[in-house]
């Protein structure tokens, strides 16, 4: 591939990565403002630590926001460097930074995918959760079971119970999936651009093994087989003006 095509391909991948990182940033901010520290269920199940377990922590929100901002900066820097021309001087540090940024994006994707999977598992309960000592369990007929906070639920074959009705925050579920998707795409793009920089620019500037051994062999040949410098004693022995040489 010619240098112009390489340059355009890297700029294209970087531009798409900027858009994905921007989408991850917007989705992360939406998740942080609406769901950070808030339970996925309304009302949340009673119990110590349940609200913290079924929610997006503030640390996860901070990590997703900072990693998306880092992705935007690195991709924009890549575009700027290649637009200016002669990027060979900066590709070594740039490809390392891109690979490091891709790891942060991967971390965000894994964390939010885990939270999204948890909300998917909550859907299997059909929005009904049995709580010990809940107010709904005291009602034994469909007529007396209040429909605003409880639901008459078929728990087993021909067995109905009045259980607590809980709604899942579907908006939070959508933002979690958005952060997961955008972060995963950013990971793939940044890793691809980093590896292309490594193969096309950094590795091309490094000397090969053949060049190294050839250079080393030339130096050793020049050092081992260089003619010895004349000494004073050898000069005297070969000098015709020397009396000992005349006696020979």
Could you tell me the residue range of the domain that residue 78 belongs to?
Answer: 3-125+168-206
38 and 140 in a single domain? The answer is no
pLDDT digits (tens, 9 = 90+) for 122-146: 776 655 555 544 577 777 777 777 7
Is 161 part of any domain?
A: yes
pLDDT digits (tens, 9 = 90+) for 51-89: 677 778 888 889 899 999 999 999 998 888 888 776 666
Is 216 part of any domain?
A: no
101 and 9 in a single domain? The answer is yes
Which region, left, alpha or beta, applies to residue 37 given φ > 0 means left and ψ of -120 to 50 means alpha?
left
Domains identified in the chain, total number: 2
Distance CA 184, CA 9 (A): 20
Phi, psi of 160 (to 5 degrees): -110, 150
How far lies 174's CA from each of 98, 126, 127, 206, in Å?
28, 18, 17, 47
Is 31 part of any domain?
A: yes
Q: Is 95 helix (H, G, I), strand (E, B) or coil?
A: helix
159 and 93 in a single domain? The answer is no
Contact (Cβ atoms closer than 8 angstroms) between residue 173 and residue 35? no
28 and 144 in a single domain? The answer is no
């Amino acid at each position: 591939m010619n240098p112009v095509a390489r340059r355009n391909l890297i700029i294209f991948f970087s531009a798409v990565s900027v858009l994905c990182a921007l989408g991850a940033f917007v989705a992360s901010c939406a998740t942080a403002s609406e769901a950070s520290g808030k339970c996925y269920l309304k009302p949340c199940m009673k119990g110590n630590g349940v609200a913290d377990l079924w929610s997006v922590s503030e640390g996860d929100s901070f990590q997703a926001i900072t990693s998306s901002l880092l992705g935007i900066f690195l991709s924009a820097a890549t575009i700027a460097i290649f637009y200016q021309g002669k990027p060979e001087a900066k590709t070594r540090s740039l490809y390392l930074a891109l690979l490091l940024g891709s790891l942060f994006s991967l971390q965000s994707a894994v964390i939010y995918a885990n939270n999204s999977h948890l909300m998917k598992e909550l859907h299997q309960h059909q929005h009904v959760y049995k709580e010990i000592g809940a107010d709904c369990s005291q009602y034994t007929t469909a007529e007396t079971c209040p429909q605003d906070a409880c639901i008459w639920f078929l728990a087993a074959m021909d067995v109905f119970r009045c259980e607590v009705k809980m709604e899942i925050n579907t908006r939070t579920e959508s933002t979690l999936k958005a952060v997961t998707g955008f972060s995963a795409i950013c990971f793939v793009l940044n890793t691809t651009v980093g590896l292309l920089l490594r193969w096309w620019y950094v590795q091309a500037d490094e000397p090969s093994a053949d060049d190294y051994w050839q250079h080393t062999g030339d130096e050793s040949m020049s050092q081992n087989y260089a003619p010895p410098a004349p000494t004073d004693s050898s000069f005297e022995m070969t000098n015709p003006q020397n009396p000992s040489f005349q006696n020979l």
